[in-house]
Chains A and B, each alone.
Chain A
Amino acid sequence: MTDDELIWRIAGGSGDGIASTSQNFAKALMRAGLHVFTHRHYPSRIRGGHTYTEVRVSADSVTSRGDGYNFLLALGDSFARNPQEDAYYGVEEIKPLSENLDDLDEGGVIVYDTGLLDPDDIPNFDERIDANNWHVYDINLREIAREHGREVMRNTAGVAITCAIADIDPGIIKDMMADAMPDKIFEPNMDVFDDAYETVTSEFDATAPDISVPTGNHDEEQVLVSGSDAIAYGAIDEGCRFISGYPMTPWTEVFTIMSQNLPEIGGVSEQVEDEIAAAALAIGASHAGVKAMSGSSGGGFALMSEPLGLAEMTETPVVLIEAMRAGPSTGMPTKPEQGDLEHVLYTSQGDSHRVVFAPADSEEAYHQTRRAFEIAYEYQIPSIILYDQKNGGELQNIPATVFDEEPNPDLGSTLTEAELEDASHDPSGKYNRFQHAGENGVSPRSLPGQEGGRFLATGNEHMPAGHISEDPDNRVNQVNRRMEKLEAIRDDLETDGQTRNTQYGPSEAQYGILTFGSQQGTVREAIDELDTEGYHVKMLGVSELAPYPVKEVSSFIESVDEVLVVEMNASAQFRGLTQKELGRYGDKLSSLLKYNGNPFEPAEIVDGFINSIVEDRTLNGNETKYIPAASD
């Protein structure tokens, strides 16, 4: 982190308004011309617990949460259990203050609400303050809030104090609040804001910390969007008007965004009994001629395995979303991990195939979701967007023009009734929906209700008109045609002129870092930090997981002496995939892994790289893990 960056952490209990306050704060600073990036940490419970959101603010573009943080606003946990309740294990209110101290930078700022928090509950608090040169502002936010309005407005008091200390123009925040709040709430919030601002400037030395938010300027209008927003928007712009799902963290976000927006634009959302039904409904809707999607997280996606195979066998286009969280089983529901890679690539019986993209960030999520729909409907194959709790929930500013694209409601390889008239039919009058030969392996489909298009879709192996058949020649023809689609998709992706796999860093470098999906932004910043420290390392961030970009990754690995593969799981699944797909390079690929529930910070990758690749190949600490190359 540089001195002119603010990484602001607002901490409280779940239900304390952390998410909305941080979102408004981030948006206000974005409007003021700054770059923002948020990171969420929350437990799997409705009320209370240790939850925080970080807002990183910089004059320059930022692509990760950054390293550490320098400003803590601790509101306390207002939903903490008390001694009267049977399950009580000590003071909980204090956790938003006490549990955030370890990561706070030297010289950082602590603002805490004395209305709820008693520093005597923290062992050696004063000694730690002295040792770290922290600047502490103990202010009764609750009292200020209650005096002018309601207790929940303490968040506004905290933001006002942040403005005073970090040198943020209060007008930016006030304009934002005026937009976001009805007058009745806005006015008391303003009183709270002014009172808190006045309190900190008159009773404390608000200018003491060496922290100030820089000024910035955007060349073009920005929007603050998460990966989940971008996936939903990509689907909408591709003409997706049907979603079916069952709630599961973190996939619920995409499902919710779609459910809120679809009725406005003539679409349908179905919340159903389980994930088997969810996937089956998306297949049913697509079969009847609507662009459709479903999705889940690990456990729910496991239930979709059999419908996924049905979509492949019946060649029904469908897009599924998989939002990874830490597993196995229920794992850590609100914590990010990239451990479902192999699950998503290989689940479902038989020689089953699908297309999988793992976008890095919001911009990629929008474009890759669109591409996933195009491929699904053109090639009649399931496409999957694989992301995780990290990039699903991270808010970042991107130019509004990213979304300045035309909608594409095209149904791909689907015939009209006029086209069906000239198409091939079997003697009974059924349309030969599954012909043995087709351009790129694709045999165009018809839709129920179309005249001249009737056929049988079945998960059994089938003849051209759909009849169930175990005829060996037909079997081989149908399998070969379905497989042919994969090569055609690979060619299509290689030649469509779009960038999904991202090269970053110097063109000539001795070492490389290979990563996939949501880690790309963090690795990118690590590359910059390594460069500053004199290590020239280049990066390849992969978003195409199936079909795997064999040529691109091979030439990247060929161009360096050694490659560190960075991923957020314990069994190096992406490195395994790379070796399987390329069939070699086992001696050039080592792994840096993290699976403790928190995403990598750039400095961890820098340290991991230097310690393992450059130095003595050992890592200290248990935050990250190094696995050496297979045979060196």
Chain B
Amino acid sequence: MSAFSAIGEEQEHDRSEYTPGLEPQATWCPGCGDFGVLKALKGAAAELGLAPEEMLVCTGIGCSGKLNSYFESYGFHTIHGRSLPVARAAKVANDGLTVVAAGGDGDGYGIGGNHFMHTARENHDMTYIVFNNEIFGLTKGQTSPTSPKGHKSKTQPHGSAKDPIRPLSMALNAGASYVARTAAVNPNQARDIIVEAIEHDGFSHIDFLTQCPTWNKDAKQYVPYIDINDSDEYDVDTTDRSTASQLMFETENALHEGTVLTGRYYVDNNRPSYQQEKKRTGEIPEEPLAEKYFDDEYEWDRVYDTFLDKHK
């Protein structure tokens, strides 16, 4: 019998179950795109029939880091840029958990960029939502890795000389097996993409455009958006890596020219997840590691019996 009985079959769950019954009230500003992520995540969790206690939501630092303060599940609000290593180890330790990591664009593409690249490369079976508001919000409006070239702020008074990060291209090149962009202004698409991302066996990256009305843009500036999977103008084959790459490049350019392209760009269902690869080579046991500690029948190997011969 499992020691983790919240993990199990799909059940009926109402989205209100993911709402904490009392404080804390969200600290996000009125009109903040972060509400859109919270709403989409609740909708996705309900649609997937996930129990709050079979989910672990790991976040970084910033306004986005408070996602798990307002989402009722197990949560780990880590440190700046480090949600991914915490999250992926938890998944390795107990792969029954549904693990979602989240953070901002500074958190994920800046200070935590190395972890983003490597978690994508390893194709850990988890979902990563990056709140991309093209700005450092909580620290009051500094230029971020996704701020457009020329963006002026208190720390870049003459305008940023740097080209912005290309988040979708970066995810694809690093090895993410599901890459999508959605926006707070598009709640239904956002929910559907989170559902697909969580269901996907491998690393799912969602670049989530979240307007920051206080320091950057308000919601209106992300409208109208175009859903590339639902538009006659775009012929998208999400299994084709090279057209995905081309379309990502266009999408990243277009955003700074005022055209908001969203949707699924790349889905590779054939690539085994990290967990599957490691189980195949015998480097992750079939039964979740965390279960062993509650299994009275489990026989723990002893150094004295197992490893001493080579020292004799």
Contact residues of A with B, CB < 8 Å?
27, 31, 221-225, 229, 233, 236-237, 239, 241-242, 244, 261, 263-270, 272-274, 276-278, 280-285, 287-292, 306-307, 309-310, 314, 400, 403-407, 409-411, 416-417, 426-430, 447-460, 466-468
Q: Report chain B residues within 8 Å CB of A314.
A: 76
Interchain nearest-CB distance for A376 vs B (Å): 14
Instruction: Identify the closest chain A residue to B291 (Cβ).
Output: A289
The answer on a CB contact under 8 Å between B290 and A288 is yes
The answer on a CB contact under 8 Å between B289 and A268 is yes
Q: Report chain B residues within 8 Å CB of A223.
A: 308, 311-312
Interchain nearest-CB distance for B25 vs A (Å): 11
Q: Mark B278-291, 1 if CB is under 8 A from A, else 0.
A: 10001111000110
Most buried by A among B23, B74, B301, B306: B74
Given A270-B92, A273-B118, A454-B282 contact (CB < 8 Å): no
Given A283-B86, A285-B90, A467-B69, A449-B293 contact (CB < 8 Å): no
The answer on a CB contact under 8 Å between A288 and B93 is yes
The answer on a CB contact under 8 Å between B20 and A428 is yes
The answer on a CB contact under 8 Å between B311 and A447 is no
A237 to B298 Cα, complex, angstroms: 14
Contacting A466 at CB < 8 Å: which of B75, B82, B89, B306?
B75
Q: Report chain B residues within 8 Å CB of A310.
A: 78-79, 82
Q: Report chain A residues within 8 Å CB of B97.
A: 288, 448-449
Given A277-B85, A310-B79, A453-B53 contact (CB < 8 Å): yes
Given A407-B302, A409-B293, A285-B92 contact (CB < 8 Å): yes
A276 to B115 Cα, complex, angstroms: 9
Given A281-B86, A285-B92, A454-B312 contact (CB < 8 Å): no
* Chain B 219-251 interface residues, beta-carbon cutoff 8 Å to A: none
Instruction: Identify the closest chain A residue to B59 (Cβ).
Output: A458
Contacting A428 at CB < 8 Å: which of B22, B298, B311?
B22
Determine if B292 is an interface residue (Cβ-Cβ < 8 Å).
yes
The answer on a CB contact under 8 Å between A454 and B293 is no
The answer on a CB contact under 8 Å between A284 and B90 is yes
Contacting B86 at CB < 8 Å: which of A287, A289, A429?
A287
Given A274-B114, A307-B79, A448-B303 contact (CB < 8 Å): no
Interchain nearest-CB distance for A271 vs B (Å): 10
Interchain nearest-CB distance for A400 vs B (Å): 6
Q: Report chain B residues within 8 Å CB of A263.
A: 282-283
Q: Report chain B residues within 8 Å CB of A287.
A: 76, 86, 90
The answer on a CB contact under 8 Å between A454 and B53 is yes
A-B contacts, 27 of them at CB < 8 A, read A223-B312, A224-B311, A233-B307, A236-B307, A242-B289, A263-B283, A264-B306, A265-B301, A268-B285, A273-B115, A277-B84, A277-B114, A280-B79, A289-B93, A289-B289, A409-B298, A409-B300, A426-B22, A448-B4, A448-B56, A448-B90, A449-B7, A451-B4, A453-B53, A456-B76, A466-B75, A468-B24
Determine if B264 is an interface residue (Cβ-Cβ < 8 Å).
no
Contacting B89 at CB < 8 Å: which of A288, A417, A427, A457?
A288
A417 to B302 Cα, complex, angstroms: 28
Q: Report chain B residues within 8 Å CB of A273.
A: 114-115, 117-118
Most buried by A among B117, B278, B284, B303: B303
The answer on a CB contact under 8 Å between A448 and B74 is yes
Determine if B54 is an interface residue (Cβ-Cβ < 8 Å).
yes
**For the complex of A and B, 9 pairs with smallest distance between CB atoms:** A284-B89, A449-B4, A289-B290, A280-B85, A458-B77, A288-B93, A284-B86, A428-B21, A223-B311
Beyond contacts A280-B86, A456-B68: 6 other A-B pairs, Cβ-Cβ < 8 A, are A221-B312, A277-B85, A283-B89, A448-B74, A450-B3, A457-B76
Interchain nearest-CB distance for A270 vs B (Å): 7
A400 to B306 Cα, complex, angstroms: 12
The answer on a CB contact under 8 Å between B304 and A400 is yes
The answer on a CB contact under 8 Å between B79 and A291 is no
Interchain nearest-CB distance for B108 vs A (Å): 14
Q: Report chain B residues within 8 Å CB of A410.
A: 293
Interchain nearest-CB distance for B11 vs A (Å): 12
A44 to B92 Cα, complex, angstroms: 34
The answer on a CB contact under 8 Å between A447 and B4 is yes
Determine if B72 is an interface residue (Cβ-Cβ < 8 Å).
yes
Q: Report chain B residues within 8 Å CB of A307.
A: 79, 82
Q: Report chain A residues within 8 Å CB of B303.
A: 233, 236-237, 403
A309 to B74 Cα, complex, angstroms: 21
Q: Report chain A residues within 8 Å CB of B72.
A: 428-430, 454
Q: Mark B81-125, 1 if CB is under 8 A from A, else 0.
A: 010111111111110110000000000000000110110000000
The answer on a CB contact under 8 Å between B89 and A460 is no
Interchain nearest-CB distance for A450 vs B (Å): 6
The answer on a CB contact under 8 Å between B89 and A266 is no
A405 to B300 Cα, complex, angstroms: 12
Q: Mark B1-24, 1 if CB is under 8 A from A, else 0.
A: 001111100000000000011111
Q: Report chain B residues within 8 Å CB of A244.
A: 89
Most buried by A among B96, B294, B298: B294
Determine if B143 is an interface residue (Cβ-Cβ < 8 Å).
no
Q: Report chain A residues within 8 Å CB of B20.
A: 428, 430
Q: Report chain B residues within 8 Å CB of A266.
A: 285, 289, 292, 301
Interchain nearest-CB distance for A312 vs B (Å): 12
Q: Report chain A residues within 8 Å CB of B118.
A: 272-273, 277
Determine if B52 is an interface residue (Cβ-Cβ < 8 Å).
yes
Q: Report chain A residues within 8 Å CB of B298.
A: 409
Given A280-B86, A449-B7, A288-B94 contact (CB < 8 Å): yes
Determine if B73 is an interface residue (Cβ-Cβ < 8 Å).
yes
Interchain nearest-CB distance for A257 vs B (Å): 9
A456 to B69 Cα, complex, angstroms: 7
A153 to B306 Cα, complex, angstroms: 31
Q: Mark B182-201, 1 if CB is under 8 A from A, else 0.
A: 00000000000000000000
Interchain nearest-CB distance for A406 vs B (Å): 7
Determine if B42 is an interface residue (Cβ-Cβ < 8 Å).
no
A248 to B210 Cα, complex, angstroms: 40
The answer on a CB contact under 8 Å between B53 and A449 is yes
Determine if B66 is an interface residue (Cβ-Cβ < 8 Å).
yes
Given A280-B85, A429-B21, A468-B69, A268-B90 contact (CB < 8 Å): no
Instruction: Identify the closest chain A residue to B4 (Cβ).
Output: A449
